[in-house]
Amino acid sequence: MLLDALYCKNKKRPPIWLMRQAGRFLPEYQKIRAHYSLLEMFATPEIIHEVTKLPVNILGVDAAILFSDILTVLNGLGVPYDFDPGPKIDFQGQFHKTEDAYPHIQQAIISLKKELTVPLIGFAGGPFTVLSYIIEGKTSRDFKKIKKLMIQNPTLFESLLEEVITETISYLKLQEKAGVDLIQIFDSWGSALPPTFFEKYVQAPLARIVKALAIPTILFCKGKAIELLPCHPTCISIDWTQKLSDQRQQIPKTIALQGNLDPTILYGSKKTIKQHAHALLEEMQGEPGFIFNLGHGMLPDIPVENVHTLIEVVQTRSPLHELSYSS
């Protein structure tokens, strides 16, 4: 179903999965997390396998996304990092690329493909977003350090970006070879750049990555949609600031669209969640290239039962009046 929608040929209900579905909002995840550090979890194939399957087993989503992080590519770049709880990166000015940096990822994908009955999504961060974490050292609000480097020392900036691009391509090709069905690239913070820089440092690298892969690709860049067309993705994942049906008018019908419920809707009552889910389903009614998702990642304190409600509405299309809810 997900693959049909990606190829804009889905005749059934839209498939649904949720960005960051494998994380902290699930009590079953917290149970495992209590015993390990995040880095230990990301490094252990058996844990990657188990956590990747959690949302499929518990929520019944129509796809699994590999349990890893956009920072995993730093293993191959030889940059130390940790989570505390957000990312902390210790970059000393240059990369020390290492061979065979992802055997745990390869092993987890191979074992997952033997068991999963839904497609497995591999992923990586977009090169600009990954480099912004490396240069900023942590999550940033204004991206001042990386933008300053880009303006003051474009040669150094470009050579670092080039290394991130080539490493990202080999990391994604490893995932493809191991058996993931499609790839999503999160260039979450690309919209920090003005248009000319965006074209050079976000669009062009993403186009190279898409071209290097043989499997379908979904691109996500908060605040951008039509701007991603020159990268030739199979699907564009859109945040909640844009109306999906308006985007459908502008983006060629051969490109699938994914999105775009605001995750904060999931803090609402069952009634609110159902109303918003129905509105989106109605907006995209009969659309063969639509994947239901959030406009950005799941938030850690969203109640699980609310997520169940959302998934039920999309998968059964139960009409509003037939559903029993108290608030």
- Contacting residues toward ligand CP3, per CB under 6 A: 19-24, 33, 38, 65, 67-70, 83, 85-87, 123, 139, 186, 188, 296-297
Smallest gap from residue 187 Cβ to ligand CP3 (A): 9
Choice between 125 and 289, CB closer to ligand CP3 = 125
Q: Which is closer to ligand CP3, CB of 8 or CB of 185?
A: 185
User: In the complex with ligand CP3, which residue's Cβ is closer, 83 or 267?
Assistant: 83
C-alpha–C-alpha distance, residues 139 and 123, integer Å: 19
Q: Where are the beta strands (DSSP E) in 225-312?
A: 235-238, 256-261, 290-294
Q: How far is CA 99 from CA 92, 102, 279, 302, 309, in A?
A: 20, 9, 48, 39, 45
Task: For the CB of residue 102, give the shortest distance to ligand CP3 in the complex, in Å.
Answer: 15
In the complex with ligand CP3, the residue whose CB is nearer, 86 or 286, is 86
The residue assigned the tokens 């005749």 is 11
240: Cβ contacts below 8 Å, ≥ 6 apart = 259, 260, 261, 262, 294, 295, 296
Specify the residue, 187 or 312, whose C-beta has the smaller distance to ligand CP3: 187
Strand residues in 178-273 grouped as ranges (E): 182-186, 217-220, 235-238, 256-261
Question: What's the sign of the alpha-carbon dihedral 253, 259, 262, 267?
Answer: positive
Which residue's CB is nearer to ligand CP3, number 36 or number 325? 36
Residues 6+ apart with CB under 8 A from 121: 17, 63, 64, 65, 66, 180, 181, 182, 183, 184, 218
State the nearest-atom distance from the C-beta of 9 to ligand CP3, in Å.
25
Structure tokens, 35: 């015993």
Which residue in this structure is represented by tokens 């669209």? 257
Q: Select 19 or 307, whichever has its Cβ closest to ligand CP3.
A: 19
Q: Report the C-alpha gap between 261 and 241 in whole angstroms.
A: 9
Q: Least Å distance between CB 96 and ligand CP3?
A: 22
Select 28 or 283, whichever has its Cβ closest to ligand CP3: 28
Output the smallest distance, CB 3 to ligand CP3, in A.
19
- The rounded Cα 299 to chain-centroid distance in angstroms is 14
Shortest reach from residue 40's CB to ligand CP3, in Å? 11
Give the shortest CB-233-to-ligand CP3 separation in angstroms: 16
C-alpha separations of 173 from 60, 115, 162, 186 in Å: 28, 21, 17, 16
Nearer to ligand CP3, 14 or 55 (CB): 55
Closest CA to 123 of 237, 266, 228: 237
d(CA 285, CA 274): 16
**In angstroms, what is the minimal distance from the CB of 201 to ligand CP3?**
17
On the question of a cis peptide bond just before residue 85, with omega within 30 degrees of 0, the verdict is: yes
Query: In the complex, what is the shortest distance from the CB of residue 77 to ligand CP3, in angstroms, rounded to a whole number?
Result: 15
